[in-house]
């Protein structure tokens, strides 16, 4: 199988109610018929403006949200209906969200999450030590998370996402709010995941990061796909990927 993720005509609508009696119904087409495929071992970027539909797409790919149209298959299984086949083999990290216990150490957090995945005790310690090394937290592993910097917490979240040794890791804005050094460390970690054979799907608003990391990407705008390809293909004749991206977005809003 060469596509590890296959998205076809995927749609998700949200219905919200407004007005005094909540009688006025509004339908938001958050994802409006997008198709793309991700190959095993790729770092794949999902780009788009605020509200474009990226998080909604990731939620459907990670089996957390049902599509209202189209299909998405992960590891050959449908994310809706066959989600049990998928869950043990993927993981996700939503940037900004805590998702870790501040009053525990990094190691104890990881022990807790490995228990949830029913990883045998003997295997846990080895796996946790390896992951702590990968995210460069080994030295502080036994300090309480409440003493960590934002960058360290974000790296711990990645560690948490690796605890079940997933084949695919989904990351929603993994470097948001990090300083340049911290963001670079995180990009190095993402590259190491690729070297380890993992597939990574990520969102980011940092175009330089996309250029540095992503093998291929798609750009979505108001729920629709407006571009796809390698960073070099998207960049085409523009000076930078950011220039090309801005032109793309301005082109569709004109």
- Give the footprint of ligand ATP on this chain (CB under 6 A): 14, 16, 28, 30, 48, 50-56
> Please, which residue, 57 or 164, has the CB nearer to Mg ion?
57
Q: Which does 30 bind (CB under 5 to 8 A by kind): ligand ATP, Mg ion, none?
A: ligand ATP
221 near Mg ion, rule: CB under 5 A? no
Q: How far apart are CA 61 and CA 74, in angstroms?
A: 7
Closest by CA to 30, choosing from 55, 62, 61, is: 55
Q: How far apart are CA 130 and CA 114, in angstroms?
A: 13
> Please, which residue, 42 or 172, has the CB nearer to ligand ATP?
172
User: In angstroms, what is the minimal distance from the CB of 225 to ligand ATP?
Assistant: 13
> Please, which residue, 105 or 204, has the CB nearer to ligand ATP?
204
User: In angstroms, what is the minimal distance from the CB of 134 to ligand ATP?
Assistant: 27
User: In angstroms, what is the minimal distance from the CB of 195 to ligand ATP?
Assistant: 28
3-class SS shares of the chain: helix, strand, coil, % to 5? 40, 30, 30
Q: How far apart are CA 134 and CA 12, in angstroms?
A: 36
Q: Which does 106 bind (CB under 5 to 8 A by kind): ligand ATP, Mg ion, none?
A: none
Closest by CA to 88, choosing from 110, 69, 62, is: 62
Q: How far apart are CA 169 and CA 40, in angstroms?
A: 11
Closest by CA to 29, choosing from 6, 48, 63, 53, is: 53
Q: Which of 6, 32, 45, 55 binds Mg ion (CB under 5 A)?
A: 55
Closest by CA to 18, choosing from 7, 29, 28, is: 28
> Please, which residue, 51 or 251, has the CB nearer to Mg ion?
51
175 near Mg ion, rule: CB under 5 A? no
User: In angstroms, what is the minimal distance from the CB of 174 to Mg ion?
Assistant: 12
User: In angstroms, what is the minimal distance from the CB of 119 to ligand ATP?
Assistant: 31
- What the block records as the tokens of 89 is 């083999």
User: In angstroms, what is the minimal distance from the CB of 177 to ligand ATP?
Assistant: 13
62 near Mg ion, rule: CB under 5 A? no
- What the block records as the tokens of 39 is 């190959």
Contacting residues toward Mg ion, per CB under 5 A: 54-55
């Amino acid at each position: 199988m060469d596509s590890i993720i296959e998205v076809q005509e995927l749609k998700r609508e949200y219905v919200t109610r407004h007005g005094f009696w909540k009688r006025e119904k509004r339908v938001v087409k958050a994802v409006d018929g997008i198709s793309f495929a991700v190959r095993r071992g790729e770092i794949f970027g999902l780009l788009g403006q605020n509200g474009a539909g990226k998080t909604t797409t990731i939620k459907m790919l990670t089996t957390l949200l049902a599509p209202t149209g189209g299909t998405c298959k992960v590891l050959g299984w449908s994310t809706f209906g066959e989600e049990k086949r998928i869950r043990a083999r993927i993981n996700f990290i939503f940037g900004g969200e805590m998702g870790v216990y501040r009053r525990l150490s990094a190691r104890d957090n990881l022990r807790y999450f490995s228990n949830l995945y029913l990883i045998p005790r003997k295997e846990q310690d080895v796996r946790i030590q390896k992951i702590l090394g990968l995210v460069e937290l080994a030295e502080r592993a036994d300090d309480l998370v409440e003493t960590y910097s934002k960058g360290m917490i974000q790296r711990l979240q990645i560690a948490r996402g690796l605890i079940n040794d997933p084949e695919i890791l989904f990351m929603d804005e993994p470097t948001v709010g990090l300083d340049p050094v911290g963001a670079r460390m995180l990009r190095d970690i993402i590259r190491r995941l690729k070297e380890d054979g993992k597939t990574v799907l990520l969102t980011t608003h940092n175009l330089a990061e996309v250029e540095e990391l992503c093998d291929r990407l798609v750009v979505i705008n108001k729920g629709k796909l407006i571009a796809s390809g390698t960073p070099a293909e998207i960049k085409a004749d523009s000076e930078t990927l950011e220039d090309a991206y801005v032109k793309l977005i301005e082109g569709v809003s004109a």
